[in-house]
Amino acid sequence: MSNLESVSQQTLVSMIRNLYPDLVINLSLNGISLNGISPQQKAQLIREQKLQGFTNGIMDLVIYLPDAQVLNLELKRPKGNSQSPDQLAIQAKLEALGHNYFLIRDIYEVFKLIAERTTPEFRKKQYEILTNSSNFHLFPQVEHLYNIGNTNGPTT
C-alpha cells in the first residue's frame, strides 16, 4: 500500500468512526509493512498467517452496515495504481458468490455507498450522536455526508 493510500485509509477510518460510530470496520492486514525483518522471518510469518486465514489480495476494509449489509472496499490512489492479480482474483470470487466489491479512489465515494444502503433514520441517529459529542467541532460542515432525508443517496 502506498503512503498516499495509507493516509487516505487512515482518514477514511477516522471519519467513519466519528461520523458513523455504530458501524463496524474490519481492516485487512495485507497492507502491514514487513520491513526490518529478515527474509526467513518474513517467510515464516506469512506461512503462519496463511494457516490462520490470511489471503493475498483481500480488500483493504470491510464495513458492516445495518440490516446485514457489508461493504468490501479496496482503496487506491485517485490516479494510477491498478489492482494486483491477487486483488482481481478476490474481486472475481466475491462477485461470483454474490458479494459486492468496490474499488475506491475517492473516500467520499464510501459515504455515498453508506447513504445508499442505510435509512434516513439511521443516518439521522448517527448525525445526532456526532452533534452531541465533543468531536463535533472537528466536523462542522458534514451534514451533507449523511444525506438525511434522502433515500436516493447523496447529492453532490
Q: In the prediction, which pLDDT does 139 show?
A: 64
Predicted confidence (pLDDT) at residue 147 exceeds the cutoff of 80: no
* 49-100 confidence digits (pLDDT tens): 788 877 888 999 999 999 999 999 999 988 878 999 999 999 999 999 999 9
Q: In the prediction, which pLDDT does 27 show?
A: 85
Q: What is the CATH number of domain 3-107?
A: 3.40.1350.10
- pTM, rounded to two decimals: 0.80
Angle between helices 3-19 and 108-117 (to 10 degrees): 40
Q: Is the dihedral of CA 15, 22, 1, 71 positive or negative?
A: negative
Q: How far apart are the first and last CA of the chain?
A: 29
Domain ranges for the chain: 3-107
